[in-house]
């Protein structure tokens, strides 16, 4: 079974750093992009960026460029999302999702991880 | 950036009703669109990709159509387990979600 398992919920203070993870299993991890998405309370998901584990190619949404860092460790089939200095506005659920493609152009996100709730509060 | 405008933002319907949700793109996106279902406290789940291809395991009462800038998701006979929020997602240029449509029980 193809599966993405994310790290657990985090409660942090403003200014603190954080790194959350997403571990893939049931498929060849290196061959598929992993994307990160933010969902703020009561809102729809937003695409943040993604990483291609085979060559560590990373793409960011313009909205998140410079705000977060995406990375990957092929040896452990794990992708990461990190912040250097959290703000209260970073409070949200964060999902990872695998990008699949057919015919080189039709893409979708499936499966998704279970989500990591990040709460930033003083 | 491509904007996705989804409507309605919410709707109330009876079990057995036919329901249609629309999504408009700010520019032509071929058929690079998917539909996702999200239930409270859960991750979104893929229903349809490529505008009209049903994901494996998804009931056939779900269908998608459209290309270019106008797309629809139809549920032919609403079932109790279909009450959820639905999102469209374009993958033509980066990834952009619609604002969502909450389907509630009437």
Cα B31–Cα B35–Cα B38 angle in degrees, nearest 5:
165
Please report, in angstroms and rounded to a whole number, the separation of the first and last CA atoms in chain B: 36
Q: What whole-number distance in Å separates Cα of residue B20 and Cα of residue B11?
A: 10
Contacts of A5 (CB under 8 A, 6+ apart): A22, A23, A25, A113, A114
Contact assessment for residue B24 and residue B63, using Cβ atoms and an 8 Å cutoff: no
pLDDT band at A10, cuts 50/70/90? very high
Shortest alpha-carbon distance between residue A45 and chain B (Å): 7
* A69, two tokens: 């860092």
Contact assignment for A105 to B32 by CB distance below 8 Å: yes
Interval A75-103: pLDDT, tens:
999 999 999 999 999 999 999 999 999 88
Residues from chain A contacting residue B50 (CB–CB below 8 Å): 102, 106, 108
Contact assignment for A106 to B99 by CB distance below 8 Å: no
At residue A104, the pLDDT reads 82
What residue ranges in A40-85 does DSSP mark as E strands? 45-52, 57-60, 69-73, 78-83
Q: What percent of chain B has pLDDT over 70?
A: 100
At residue B66, the pLDDT reads 98
Interval B29-72: pLDDT, tens:
999 999 999 999 999 999 999 999 999 999 999 999 999 999 99
CB of B43 less than 8 A from some CB of A: yes
Contact assignment for A47 to B32 by CB distance below 8 Å: no
Interval B77-95: pLDDT, tens:
999 999 999 999 999 999 9
Contact assignment for B44 to A95 by CB distance below 8 Å: yes
Contacts of B41 (CB under 8 A, 6+ apart): none
Shortest alpha-carbon distance between residue A40 and chain B (Å): 12
Interval A24-66: pLDDT, tens:
999 999 999 999 999 999 999 999 999 999 999 999 999 999 9
**In the predicted model, is pLDDT for residue A105 greater than 90?**
no
Q: By CA distance, what is B35's nearest residue in A?
A: A108
DSSP conformational letter for A68: B
At residue A28, the pLDDT reads 97
Residues from chain A contacting residue B32 (CB–CB below 8 Å): 105-107
At residue A7, the pLDDT reads 98
CB of B64 less than 8 A from some CB of A: no
At residue A103, the pLDDT reads 85
Shortest alpha-carbon distance between residue B7 and chain A (Å): 14
CB of B92 less than 8 A from some CB of A: no
Residues from chain A contacting residue B21 (CB–CB below 8 Å): none
Q: What whole-number distance in Å separates Cα of residue A64 and Cα of residue B103?
A: 30
Look over chain B and give the mean of its residue pLDDT values, rounded to a whole number.
97
Task: Give the helix ranges, DSSP H, for chain A.
Answer: none
């Amino acid at each position: 079974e193809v599966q993405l398992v994310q790290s657990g919920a985090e409660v942090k203070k403003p200014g603190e750093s954080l790194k959350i993870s997403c571990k893939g299993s049931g498929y060849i991890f290196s061959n598929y992009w992993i994307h990160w998405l933010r969902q703020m309370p009561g809102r729809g998901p937003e695409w943040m960026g993604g990483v291609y584990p085979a060559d560590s190619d990373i793409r960011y949404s313009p909205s998140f460029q410079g705000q977060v860092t995406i990375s990957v460790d092929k040896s452990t089939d794990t992708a990461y999302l990190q912040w250097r200095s959290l703000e209260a506005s970073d409070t949200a659920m964060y999902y990872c999702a695998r990008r699949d493609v057919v015919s080189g152009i039709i893409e979708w996100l499936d499966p998704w991880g279970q989500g990591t709730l990040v709460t930033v509060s003083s | 950036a491509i904007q996705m405008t989804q409507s309605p933002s919410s709707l109330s319907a009876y079990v057995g009703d036919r329901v249609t949700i629309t999504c408009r793109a700010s520019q032509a996106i071929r058929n690079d669109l998917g539909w996702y279902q999200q239930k409270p406290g859960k991750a979104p789940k893929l229903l349809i990709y490529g505008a009209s291809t049903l994901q494996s395991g998804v009931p056939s009462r779900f269908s998608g159509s459209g290309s270019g800038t106008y797309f629809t998701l139809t549920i032919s006979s609403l079932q109790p387990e279909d009450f959820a929020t639905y999102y469209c997602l374009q993958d033509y240029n980066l990834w952009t979600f619609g604002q969502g449509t909450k389907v509630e029980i009437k």
